[in-house]
Chains A and B, each alone.
Chain A
Amino acid sequence: MNRLLIKGGRVVDPAGGIDGLFDVYAIGGKIAAVKPYEPSAFSLQPNDWTVIDATGLIVCPGFIDMHVHLREPGYEYKETIKTGAMAAAAGGFTGIACMANTDPVNDNASVTRYILKKAQEEGIVNVYPVGAVSRELKGESMAEIGELKEAGCVAVSDDGRPVINSGLMRLAMEYAKLFNMLVISHCEDTALSAGGQMNEGIASTRLGLKGIPVASEDIMVARDIAIAELTGCRLHIAHISTEGAIGLVRLAKSKSLKVTAEVTPHHFTLTDEAVIGYNTNAKMNPPLRSKKDLNAIRQGLADGTIDVIATDHAPQDITEKEVEFDKAANGIIGLETALPLSLRLVFDNMLSMAELVKKLSANPARLLGLDCKGTLKVGADADISILDLEKEWVVDARLLKSRSKNTPFDGWKMKGKVVKTVVAGKVVYEG
Chain B
Amino acid sequence: MRLKRKDLLGIEELERDEIELILSTAESFKEVSDREIKKVPTLRGRTIINLFYEASTRTRTSFEIAAKRMSADAINISASSSSIAKGETLKDTAKNLEAMNPDCIVLRHSSSGAPHILARLIKCSVINAGDGSHEHPSQALLDMLTVKERFGRIEGLKIAIVGDISHSRVARSNIYGFIKLGAKVSVAGPPTMMPAGVEDMGCSVRYRIEDVIGDADVIMMLRIQLERHKVSLFPSVREYSRLFGLDRQKLEKAKKDMVILHPGPVNRGVEIAPDVVDGPYSLVLDQVKNGVAVRMALFYLLLGGSREQAVD
Choose from B117, B135, B197, B230 the contact partner of A208 (Cβ within 8 Å).
B135
Contacts of A319 in B (CB 8 A): 89
Which residues in chain A, 299-326, are within 8 Å of chain B measured between CB atoms? 319, 322-326
B90 touches A324 (CB 8 A): yes
B103 contacts A by Cβ under 8 Å: no
| Interface hit among B107-115, B238-246, B253-261, B300-308 | B107-115
B198 touches A205 (CB 8 A): yes
Which residues in chain A, 230-289, are within 8 Å of chain B measured between CB atoms? 277-278
CB distance from B25 to the nearest CB of A (A): 27
* Assembled-state Cα–Cα distance A325/B230 (Å): 19
* Assembled-state Cα–Cα distance A324/B132 (Å): 11
A205 touches B111 (CB 8 A): no
A394 contacts B by Cβ under 8 Å: no
A195 touches B133 (CB 8 A): no
* Assembled-state Cα–Cα distance A216/B221 (Å): 32
Chain B residue with the shortest CB-CB distance to A319: B89
Binary interface encoding of chain B residues 271-310 relative to chain A, with 1 for a CB under 8 A from any of its CBs, else 0? 0000000000000000000000000000000000000000
Q: Given A201-B196, A322-B91 in contact, is the A206-B12 Cβ separation under 8 Å? A: yes
Q: Given A202-B200, A323-B89 in contact, is the A208-B116 Cβ separation under 8 Å? A: no
Choose from A205, A277, A324 the contact partner of B197 (Cβ within 8 Å).
A205
Contacts of B69 in A (CB 8 A): none
Q: Given A324-B114, A325-B112 in contact, is the A208-B196 Cβ separation under 8 Å? A: no
A208 touches B200 (CB 8 A): no
A205 touches B117 (CB 8 A): no
* Assembled-state Cα–Cα distance A209/B134 (Å): 7
B113 touches A324 (CB 8 A): yes
CB distance from B140 to the nearest CB of A (A): 14
Binary interface encoding of chain A residues 188-206 relative to chain B, with 1 for a CB under 8 A from any of its CBs, else 0? 0000001100001110111
B117 touches A324 (CB 8 A): yes
B195 touches A326 (CB 8 A): no
* Assembled-state Cα–Cα distance A324/B120 (Å): 12
Choose from A195, A205, A278 the contact partner of B195 (Cβ within 8 Å).
A205
A278 touches B230 (CB 8 A): no
A226 contacts B by Cβ under 8 Å: no
* Assembled-state Cα–Cα distance A207/B113 (Å): 7
A327 contacts B by Cβ under 8 Å: yes
- Tell me the number of A-to-B contacts counted with CB atoms below 8 Å: 69
A364 contacts B by Cβ under 8 Å: no
Chain B residue with the shortest CB-CB distance to A213: B196
* Assembled-state Cα–Cα distance A278/B132 (Å): 13
* Assembled-state Cα–Cα distance A211/B195 (Å): 9
* Assembled-state Cα–Cα distance A206/B200 (Å): 9
* Assembled-state Cα–Cα distance A211/B197 (Å): 11
B169 contacts A by Cβ under 8 Å: yes
* Assembled-state Cα–Cα distance A39/B131 (Å): 67
B201 touches A206 (CB 8 A): yes
* Assembled-state Cα–Cα distance A209/B133 (Å): 7
* Assembled-state Cα–Cα distance A144/B169 (Å): 49
Which residues in chain B, 191-232, are within 8 Å of chain A measured between CB atoms? 195-198, 200-201, 230
Which residues in chain B, 164-190, are within 8 Å of chain A measured between CB atoms? 169, 172
Contacts of A205 in B (CB 8 A): 195-198, 200-201
A201 touches B230 (CB 8 A): no
A200 touches B230 (CB 8 A): no
Q: Given A211-B196, A278-B117, A324-B117 in contact, is the A206-B112 Cβ separation under 8 Å? A: no
Contacts of A208 in B (CB 8 A): 112-113, 131-135, 169, 172
Chain A residue with the shortest CB-CB distance to B230: A195
B230 touches A204 (CB 8 A): no
* Assembled-state Cα–Cα distance A207/B116 (Å): 11
Chain B residue with the shortest CB-CB distance to A195: B230
Q: Given A195-B230, A208-B132, A278-B117 in contact, is the A326-B112 Cβ separation under 8 Å? A: yes
* Assembled-state Cα–Cα distance A94/B110 (Å): 45
In the complex, which of the residues A202, A206, A209 has the most CB atoms of chain B within 10 Å of its own CB atom? A206
Contacts of A207 in B (CB 8 A): 112-113, 134
* Assembled-state Cα–Cα distance A201/B131 (Å): 19
* Assembled-state Cα–Cα distance A201/B197 (Å): 6
CB distance from B83 to the nearest CB of A (A): 16
CB distance from A199 to the nearest CB of B (A): 9
B132 touches A326 (CB 8 A): yes
B133 touches A278 (CB 8 A): no
* Assembled-state Cα–Cα distance A277/B201 (Å): 17
Chain B residue with the shortest CB-CB distance to A322: B91
Q: Given A194-B230, A204-B196 in contact, is the A324-B134 Cβ separation under 8 Å? A: no
Chain B residue with the shortest CB-CB distance to A204: B196
Chain A residue with the shortest CB-CB distance to B194: A205
* Assembled-state Cα–Cα distance A324/B135 (Å): 15
* Assembled-state Cα–Cα distance A202/B90 (Å): 27
Contacts of B90 in A (CB 8 A): 323-324
* Assembled-state Cα–Cα distance A210/B89 (Å): 22
Contacts of A323 in B (CB 8 A): 89-91, 117
Q: Given A208-B135, A322-B91 in contact, is the A278-B200 Cβ separation under 8 Å? A: no
A278 touches B196 (CB 8 A): no
Chain B residue with the shortest CB-CB distance to A280: B117
Binary interface encoding of chain B residues 28-71 relative to chain A, with 1 for a CB under 8 A from any of its CBs, else 0? 00000000000000000000000000000000000000000000
Which residues in chain B, 126-144, are within 8 Å of chain A measured between CB atoms? 131-135
CB distance from A325 to the nearest CB of B (A): 5
* Assembled-state Cα–Cα distance A138/B270 (Å): 41
Chain B residue with the shortest CB-CB distance to A202: B197
* Assembled-state Cα–Cα distance A204/B197 (Å): 9
Residues of B within 8 A of A (CB): 12, 89-91, 109, 111-114, 116-117, 131-135, 169, 172, 195-198, 200-201, 230
Nearest 7 A/B pairs, CB to CB: A208-B134, A278-B113, A202-B197, A324-B111, A208-B133, A208-B112, A205-B195
Residues of A within 8 A of B (CB): 194-195, 200-202, 204-211, 213, 277-278, 319, 322-327
> What are 26 A-B contacts with C-beta separation under 8 Å?
A194-B230, A195-B230, A200-B196, A201-B197, A202-B200, A204-B195, A204-B196, A205-B197, A205-B201, A206-B12, A208-B113, A208-B133, A208-B172, A209-B113, A209-B132, A209-B133, A209-B134, A210-B133, A211-B195, A277-B116, A319-B89, A322-B91, A323-B91, A325-B111, A325-B113, A326-B112
* Extra pairs beyond A208-B135, A211-B196, A323-B89 (14, CB < 8 Å): A201-B196, A205-B200, A206-B201, A208-B131, A208-B132, A208-B134, A209-B113, A210-B133, A277-B116, A278-B113, A278-B116, A319-B89, A326-B111, A326-B132
